Amino acid sequence: MSDEAIDRLLRSLAGVCQQARADQVEAERVRKDLSADDDEHAVSHLRVDPQRALINQRTLLAENIADEQERIAQRLIAWWVDVAICTTASVASGRPLTVARAVAAHPSLCMEAEDLAFLPPIEDRQLAALSVELDEALSAGQRLSFTPRSTTPCCPRVPGRPRCSPGEISNGFA
């Protein structure tokens, strides 16, 4: 990727992350407002109250949306951080950042075996270091929070989730 393409990608990711965070804050505000309405209509005894049921269902929906907005923001921020770290490593090593590496943490793409072939190889030393770090974190009682990718050679197709094609990976942002 060219320096200009990397700069555009990082700026775009920064803007998207800001919007995702704003969406998350707004979803949390709506959840709190609906929760307050739900508490206001609470009754201590059983009674048939369709309006309360509607308020309660809206509150539950708002809670789900707020949780999902938080997950979306986390995924996008993780991608932004991944690209920023890879850019720094690229500058330090003198090796160019590839489009395949830039999209590796894209939260909406599922890279299949042929897509993964475009990524740089991982050295045994790096895997050993990662293993030690994970072992130390788990031994210290830290909780890891990540979702492992499928170990099957082909990710299941999810409606609405685009698949990265080799043409997109090799040509991409450049």
Any domain includes 31? yes
93 and 55 part of one domain: yes
> HSE (CB half, 13 Å, CA atoms) of 62?
20
Write down the pLDDT at residue 142.
64
> Domain limits at 28?
1-97
Instruction: Tell me how far apart the terminal alpha carbons of the chain are, to the nearest angstrom.
Output: 5
80 and 139 part of one domain: no
Alpha-carbon distance values, 130 to 23, 126, 136, 138, 149 (Å): 34, 6, 10, 12, 16
140 and 75 part of one domain: no
Please, which pLDDT band fits residue 110 given cuts at 50, 70 and 90? confident
Q: How many domains are there within the chain? A: 2
* pLDDT tens digits for range 144-165: 554 444 333 333 344 444 444 4
Any domain includes 174? no
Any domain includes 143? yes
| Residue predicted with more confidence, 85 or 172 | 85
CB 161 within 8 Å of CB 110: yes
87 and 117 part of one domain: no
115 and 157 part of one domain: yes
CB 84 within 8 Å of CB 126: no
63 and 133 part of one domain: no
Residue the block writes with tokens 């309660």: 56
> How open is the CA angle 95-15-63, to the nearest 5 degrees?
120
Domain boundary among 38, 64, 97: 97
